[in-house]
Structure 1
Amino acid sequence: MSVTRVQIVSVPVRDQDRARDFYVDVLGLDLVRDNPMGPGGRWVQVAPKGAATTLTLVTWFDSMPPGSLRGLVLETDDLDADVTRLGERGLTFAEDGVQVAPWGRYVTFADPEGNGIVLQETRV
């Protein structure tokens, strides 16, 4: 096999505008594309600055209902600063807050659609 990278991860959402606003305005990801796609469809793609892997906010997969994604992991260099910044933007984290693991620290939360996200700072 000659796979070289993960290009796109599909995030199932019901409301692409609300999801786009969350991923761009709250999480701070870049809006890569927001274009019409086929009859009545739309391609909304976001990514961390400079990242090779992007997220597309999808509404068209019957097998992926909105909010069904779990375990999307976003890496940060400063978990404490990001937790503070995101909290100031109204993000609510899981009740157990920042967790410590042998490999680093992390916190979990959900996007407005209920998709489960992990924000982690890996120990080097």
Structure 2
Amino acid sequence: MISKVGQIMLYVNNQDEAVNFWTEKIGFSIISEEDNGQGMRWIEVAPTGAETSIILHNKEFVAKMSPGLNLGTPSLMFFTENLDELHSDLSHKNIKVGDIVNMPSGRVFNFADHEENYFAVMEK
């Protein structure tokens, strides 16, 4: 039986820029980095203490290795305890952020990475 979500694969065009975005701007930490020396490199990032991590894969390399694989960006919802502070912090880091919206399940906003992939954050 499945007990939790372990890793989410995020296919990006530029892994170094993606690592910088997730660590320097969003505040995640690098959990591990692997490189098989033959072009297959992946970087695992996550918030401190999180059970689920994001694996940053090279989109072009994965497309060559696995033709037909869906390389689209997953729709991710992150949680925060202080939505207003996070919204302000990301805005001051020149990250594209949407307005805070009241949803039936809570307040939420979205933000974009350097490749225009959008993610959402909800106050919990």
- What TM-score bracket applies, with the shorter chain setting the length? 0.7 to 0.9
Report if the CA contact (8 A) 1:11-1:58 is conserved: yes
The list of structure 1 runs, each at least 4 consecutive aligned residues, that deviate by more than 4 angstroms after superposition, is none
Give me the whole-angstrom Cα distance separating, in 2, the residues matched to 1:50 and 1:72. 18
The structure in which a higher percent of residues are helix is 2
Give me the whole-angstrom Cα distance separating, in 2, the residues matched to 1:48 and 1:9. 13
Q: Which residue of 2 aligns with 1:80?
A: 84
Report if the CA contact (8 A) 2:21-2:113 is conserved: yes
Tell me the C-alpha RMSD between the 2 structures.
1.4
Report if the CA contact (8 A) 1:11-1:69 is conserved: yes
- Could you say what secondary structure the match of 1:87 adopts? helix
Unaligned stretches of 5+ residues in structure 2: 64-68
% identity of equivalent residues = 27
Q: Which residue of 1 aligns with 2:73?
A: 69
TM-score by length of 1: 0.87
* Alignment: residue pair count: 117
Q: Which residue of 1 aligns with 2:66?
A: none
| Higher RCO structure (Cα 8 Å, ≥6 apart) | 1
Query: Relative to 1, partners in 2 of residues 1:12 and 1:52: Cα closer, same or farther, differing over 3 Å?
Result: same
